[in-house]
A and B are shown apart, each in its own frame.
Chain A
């Protein structure tokens, strides 16, 4: 009988890092961002590139491309691509693969030249968006997330000011992070007065697009003890996927994928929503975090809620928090951290329960 709890605490995050630079990098291809992040994260773990035998990546490049660029021939590959949360989901896939001996050192790699578009292939329309969405002017994420937001405002009476507050809080947190692209403080009024893009969003409600890479290295708990830094145990994991096209979402104001993902991760870890000292939510829009919190069954008004960019980065940040490496933004006494991210338009979700104790 398979038991989900058998996977709890069997593998650890042992290395994390970003690309050498993040921000606006017209001098670097997307593939280089991957290679930089992986080499940095492997060094953080005290391992060698030649130790890698499992490669996990989402997006435009396949895991085979990453292996080739690194000069590594993997014996396990995973290219699950379900949006920004794919990297969070892949931590779970890596834990399962490590547990069963399908690989010994797993690296999850992210690289995206989102701002400069260097070494990026053009996006392809699939049958659904090209046929039933583009003719009406729909396209990039803001044109979808606004629908979720106006429905939420209609149903719950949420206001533009409340959405703006999420952007303000996110920026306050970013101000503490020397690697954040935008660190100057903003006010609710600034958000509301900014250039309107697509109502209910102004340009300050919408995710920043940057060039960045990030990577996470995992190995089994027995081997993790020999790595350079204190291991971070993967205690619980979950994933879910509800829809891709927004017309197929059951309730625009509730993420079923997040509920499914969160419930599984909490059950596996044997924890409840109130047990965390630190929470990382991956979002791209100001309406994302509140809907994720509601779908996870977490009360609103958490003191340590903040936003990351792209699914690999909340894993990196949570790991650093659990190691106590975060200087002025360090949350005191973190033992248990929750990482939750979404992909697409709340379409898919991934959840991790991470701990610095077994």
Chain B
């Protein structure tokens, strides 16, 4: 399949467990070993207690649609997903929020609702890159 979107660039060393996990259909999140804070995005120190010991957990893949937009055009050249498409901020059940797309849904602002339950879908782009996309829960 032709790659219809820009590949993540750069893929930073701090995020390696995240990208490695996605290749095995796992959504991995950084978790502070001192205070237990689960956060996004990956970094070397905990943004809550500022200590250095960071581990990783496998997230449930469940969350809610915290906020969304419907794109009627592409906003960067390499993005070739056919509009309209849904740009989404997902609030994961573990707490952190990440940006993604809501798929397998009609891209219609009248039917999309903030806080609707969603679940992760793994979308393989290349041998190296699998992206976490989301769809309405229980599809």
Residues of A within 8 A of B (CB): 125, 127-128, 130-140, 142-143, 146-148, 150-151, 154-155, 196-200, 245-247, 252
Contact = CB atoms under 8 A, between A and B. Distances in A.
Nearest to A146: B69
Contacts of A146: 69, 87
Nearest to B69: A146
Contact of B69 (A125, A147, A154): A147
Interface string B89-121: 100000011111100000001000111000000
A94 B15 CA distance: 39
Nearest to B3: A135
In this complex, the interface size class of chain B, counting residues with CB under 8 Å from chain A, is 35 or more
A318 to B, nearest CB: 33
Given A132-B98, A247-B40, A143 B71 contact: yes
Given A131-B15, A133-B99, A138-B87, A198 B72 contact: yes
**Quick one: which of A128, A130, A131 has the most chain B CB within 10 A?**
A131
A17 B29 CA distance: 50
21 contacts: A131-B8, A131-B9, A132-B8, A134-B79, A136-B99, A136-B133, A137-B79, A137-B101, A138-B75, A148-B67, A150-B67, A151-B89, A151-B114, A155-B114, A196-B72, A198-B69, A198-B73, A198-B87, A199-B72, A246-B89, A246-B99
B96 A136 contact: no
A116 B1 CA distance: 37
Nearest to B89: A147
Contact of B97 (A135, A142, A247): A247
B81 interface: yes
Interface in B1-56: 5-12, 15, 40-41
A200 B5 CA distance: 23
**Quick one: which of B9, B12, B71, B133 has the most chain A CB within 10 A?**
B71
A272 B100 CA distance: 41
Contacts, number: 113
Top-3 shortest CB links A-B = A154-B114, A146-B69, A199-B70
B10 A134 contact: no
B109 to A, nearest CB: 5
A138 B68 CA distance: 11
Nearest to A130: B9
Given A198-B71, A199-B69, A199-B70, A139 B109 contact: no
Contacts of A138: 75, 87, 99
B72 A137 contact: no
Given A131-B9, A136-B99, A154 B115 contact: yes
